[in-house]
Chains A and B, each alone.
Chain A
Amino acid sequence: MVTIKELPKEEYLLKGHAACAGCGPSIAIRLLFKALGNQVIMVVPACCTTVIQGPYPYTSFAVPLQNILFESTAAAASGIVAALHQRKIEDLTVVGWAGDGGTVDIGIQALSGAAERETDFIYICYDNEAYGNTGMQRSGATPYGAWTTTTTAGKKERKKDMPLIMAAHRIPYVATACPSYPIDFVNKLRKAKETKGTKYIHILAPCPTGWRYDTSKTVEMGRLAVQTGLWALYEIEYGKFKLNPPSDRLTDKTKRKPVKDYLTLQGRFRQLSEEDIEKTQKWVDEDWIRYQKLAAIEGTIF
């Protein structure tokens, strides 16, 4: 079990980049490189990370990075993996790094295709629950009730369950994570690297700009999401579902903080009614019943 101090000091996300102050995804990018080092080829579609690189002729990334069209992160990964295979290059990790819009909406076709083809790469969706690059419009990953510029009265629909959609592809490794739990995320990345096939990691990446909270609270917000059970840390390894600490101790509802503690801290939920909060609480409680059922399945969940 690695500790924070044991993580390497080298930085491959270089300071002076263009992310907003307090950017959750940026913490996750640093952790990505702490986990995998620089023997990676990254594929990045249009998303916040496109901008975080900074402008030509400079980039803040010290690894080879292919910027690619919005819908096709996973298709590009398939192409790179194929090329490396032909060139008999074996010790590089191909990483698709995409926002939630580019994953659950416009990118879902290419991702589903790559997973079905068992492309050997790690796909990470860093989820700030909206189209961040273009100024916080709703995506399929935006949660119920959230304000965005295109759901100014609060989103009416629920968040897509992308990790389970990916698990239904029967890929060998699916995980959820959050940069507020850095060691958990690092361990999952390292496990993914050692697994053959398509690996999918979905991280909740709090965004002060879009979620409307003070920039200093990013890590705290991620922690609260986990503590309320709104975001569960789990793995689905070869189809077997398992909750990770500290989520594994939250199956008892009394141990979970009420979702209200999380929702009321963010400006994007300011217009939530009591009824909306109750709905959200009910859905979270239902999710947790489902997690327990999934964990109890003897064989694979799909």
Chain B
Amino acid sequence: MAQTIIDTANHIAGYAAKAARAKVVAVYPITPQTTVVEKIAEFVDSGKMDAEYICVESEHSAMVACIAAASAGVRTFTATSAHGLALMHEALHWAAGSRLPIVMVVVNRAMGAPWSIWPDFSDSLSQRDTGWIQFYCADNQEVFDTVIQAYKLCEDEQVFLPAMICLEGFILSHTYMPVKLPNQEEIDAFLPPYKSGWILDVNNPYSHSNLVSPEWYMEFRYMIHEAMENAKKLIPQIDKAYGKHFGFEYGGLIEKYKCDDADLVLLSMGTIGGEAKLTVEKLRKEGLKVGSARVRVFRPFPVEEIRKLAAETQMIATIDRHVSFGMEGFLATEVKASVFHEKDSPLVAGFVAGLGGRDVTAQTIEKIAEKSLKWLRMGKVEKETEWVDLRE
């Protein structure tokens, strides 16, 4: 039966893995992800979920176990954060190169040194180039829905790539929100049984991924790139179809809020995108034409959507919960790259905020908006990258 429950994003992710009928779940604890896999343990041990629950001895092994299980013909799931994700790094490359539709929940947490358990996007964004599709969620409902959508996307024969569903640690992972869970029959109708592009089969033996010379390698990489481009087209379609079936959709690649006539668009990911709506409401009441664009999918990067947005506004202020030392946040760079060749591209100002879990409230975003509007009136961005709420 479809039901509404009140639960944390982590537990909801567990419900999603169960609803998706993941058959092999690789498990390793790390704050603030652990309650995802603990929820799945409850399901498996009580017989509610029919899956192999492998308590591996590190995150690297968790991803390899998923790669191997996916190669051997079953749907897989795992979850991690920060250093666990970093430890898997080479395996993330291997999974994408193997074109396996693995789905993983990443509960975002800042990287050390020093130790931090609080959220920012440095962990998942460090994996930007691995060939994984990346979704960023703003609330618990979206976490559930995106896991299901991701399996459908990844197992599409035009894609066959792995995906990570990112949600901020503590802000979402441990926060209770109401979530409507569809009933299992509806999920099964939406999400058919596991499909992959190849399989380990004694009746049709191959060696997978032995040495590939320079004469072949580049074409295999192009195919991954092509699959990403296909994903870009499919994600809005799947989102819409999901919306039709279950009543929840998220605008495809970017969730836009009051951008149509905006002079300034605040562009961000995750919960900052949710909080920004409050700022938009407040500033609109004051007569300022501000909108919010929440990038839901970071990879493949929604270049075309950004260009459309840029054509309709004067300024984009990117809010990155991340920085690439020696440069800037990735949203800033990639938005600028997207509009570089456009005629009349808007001003773009980059803001770095919320690192290591520093709070990004509607008030913080208001400060960002006010500074941006000031620069817009001046006609130039005074500081290309501004770190918000930084003590001197």
**A contacting B, Cβ–Cβ less than 8 Å:** yes
The residues of A with any CB-CB pair to B shorter than 8 Å are 38-41, 43, 50-51, 53-57, 59, 61-69, 71-72, 75-80, 82-87, 92, 109-110, 112-113, 116-117
Find out whether the CB atom of B66 lies under 8 angstroms from the CB atom of A79: yes
The residues of B with any CB-CB pair to A shorter than 8 Å are 23-24, 26, 50-52, 54-58, 60-62, 64-74, 76, 90-91, 94, 200-202, 204-213, 216
Find out whether the CB atom of A72 lies under 8 angstroms from the CB atom of B212: no
Known: A38-B202, A55-B213, A113-B61. A80 touches B23 (CB 8 A): no
* Interface of chain A: mostly helix, strand, loop or mixed: mixed
Min distance, Cβ A92 to any Cβ of chain B, angstroms: 6
Find out whether the CB atom of B23 lies under 8 angstroms from the CB atom of A83: yes
Known: A86-B74, A109-B57. A65 touches B206 (CB 8 A): yes
Find out whether the CB atom of A83 lies under 8 angstroms from the CB atom of B72: yes
Q: Which 10 A-B pairs have the closest CB atoms?
A: A79-B68, A113-B57, A83-B72, A59-B207, A75-B61, A79-B65, A82-B52, A76-B68, A79-B69, A72-B64
Complex Cα distance A4/B90, Å? 43
Find out whether the CB atom of A41 lies under 8 angstroms from the CB atom of B202: yes
State which of A54, A62, A79 has its C-beta within 8 Å of the C-beta of B26: A79
Complex Cα distance A78/B200, Å? 14
Name the A residues within 8 Å of B26 (CB-CB).
Answer: 79
Find out whether the CB atom of B68 lies under 8 angstroms from the CB atom of A43: yes
Min distance, Cβ A88 to any Cβ of chain B, angstroms: 11
Residue of A nearest to B66 (CB): A79
Known: A40-B202, A83-B72, A84-B72. A110 touches B52 (CB 8 A): no
Name the A residues within 8 Å of B205 (CB-CB).
Answer: 38, 61-65
Complex Cα distance A68/B205, Å? 16
Find out whether the CB atom of A72 lies under 8 angstroms from the CB atom of B61: yes
Find out whether the CB atom of B210 lies under 8 angstroms from the CB atom of A54: yes
Min distance, Cβ B15 to any Cβ of chain A, angstroms: 20
Min distance, Cβ B322 to any Cβ of chain A, angstroms: 27
Residue of B nearest to A112 (CB): B57
Complex Cα distance A148/B79, Å? 41
Name the B residues within 8 Å of A55 (CB-CB).
Answer: 210-213
Complex Cα distance A68/B210, Å? 9
Find out whether the CB atom of A76 lies under 8 angstroms from the CB atom of B65: yes
Min distance, Cβ A84 to any Cβ of chain B, angstroms: 6
